[in-house]
Amino acid sequence: MNTDDLIASLSADLPRIAPGAAARRVALGLGLGALGSAVVMLAWLGPRPDLAQAVATPMFWMKFGYAAITGLILALLLTRLSKPAARLGALAAVAAIPFAIVVAMALMRYAQAPSEAHRAMLMGHSSMLCPWRIVAIGLPLLVGAVWAVRGLAPTRLWAAGMTAGACAGALGAAVYAIACNETSAPFLAIWYTLGMALVAALGAVAGSRLLRWR
């Protein structure tokens, strides 16, 4: 097929493209992924038994909010990374703001607490489980993110893969926050963030291969 024929063929019967199609695809992938993550969380761990009381405490919302807001900012960043030559602007830096706030709160709480409470603050009772649970719960979200981005046109595959992973990890952590009953800010800053970072690393390694498109 010569190039002129190809052009004639591509431009024949041209449907209209609705604006925002790329963002809708990312939202769909993450939405279906979040559904899968919620199913994994409910079937495997179940919501924390005291959820009804917990939602009245600031710590629940700090955990959920940290993860969910980070995840939403990263979803915007992921949409941009799915478009060739899109400018990222300050968004990559904005994604770190919730983390900075959580770290500041963790340092403050830690400094105020008596030293015999420090170990419990840092380790909680589930520090060895928490990051891995976030990885497992984040996996369906990662699948959804990769599906969405692959169908668009990422040109920086490592960055797109890492962002897909970080976004899946953060939204997965928000889902996990419904099951988790840890209550300290230092725990959140360390172990939730570690869980997100693990999914981000997985996304970077897997994404650079899985996101290739033709």
Partner 1 sequence: MDEIEPRLKGLMLAGLAGEAGPYRRLLDELSGLLRAYYGRRCPPGLDAEDLVQETLIAVHTRRATYDAGQPFTAWAYAIARYKLIDALRRGRSHLRAPAEEADALFASLGAAGGAEAAMAARDLERVMADLPARTRQLIRETKVEGLSTREAAENHGMTESAVKVAIHRGLKALGGRYADPGQGGSG
Contact positions toward partner 1, by CB under 8 A?
1-3, 5-17, 19, 21-22, 25, 82-87, 152-153, 155, 212-214
| Closest of 36, 29, 45 to residue 148, by C-alpha | 29
Neighbouring CB atoms inside 10 A of 88's CB total 14
Report the residue number, 152 or 199, with the smaller CB distance to partner 1: 152
Report the residue number, 101 or 205, with the smaller CB distance to partner 1: 205
Could you tell me where the beta strands, DSSP code E, fall in 92-145?
none
Report the residue number, 81 or 134, with the smaller CB distance to partner 1: 81
Shortest approach of partner 1 to residue 88 CB, angstroms? 12
Shortest approach of partner 1 to residue 152 CB, angstroms? 5
What's 192's DSSP letter?
Answer: I
| Closest of 161, 135, 158 to residue 149, by C-alpha | 161
Shortest approach of partner 1 to residue 157 CB, angstroms? 9
Report the residue number, 11 or 115, with the smaller CB distance to partner 1: 11
Shortest approach of partner 1 to residue 21 CB, angstroms? 4
What's 2's DSSP letter?
Answer: -
| Closest of 172, 175, 145 to residue 161, by C-alpha | 145
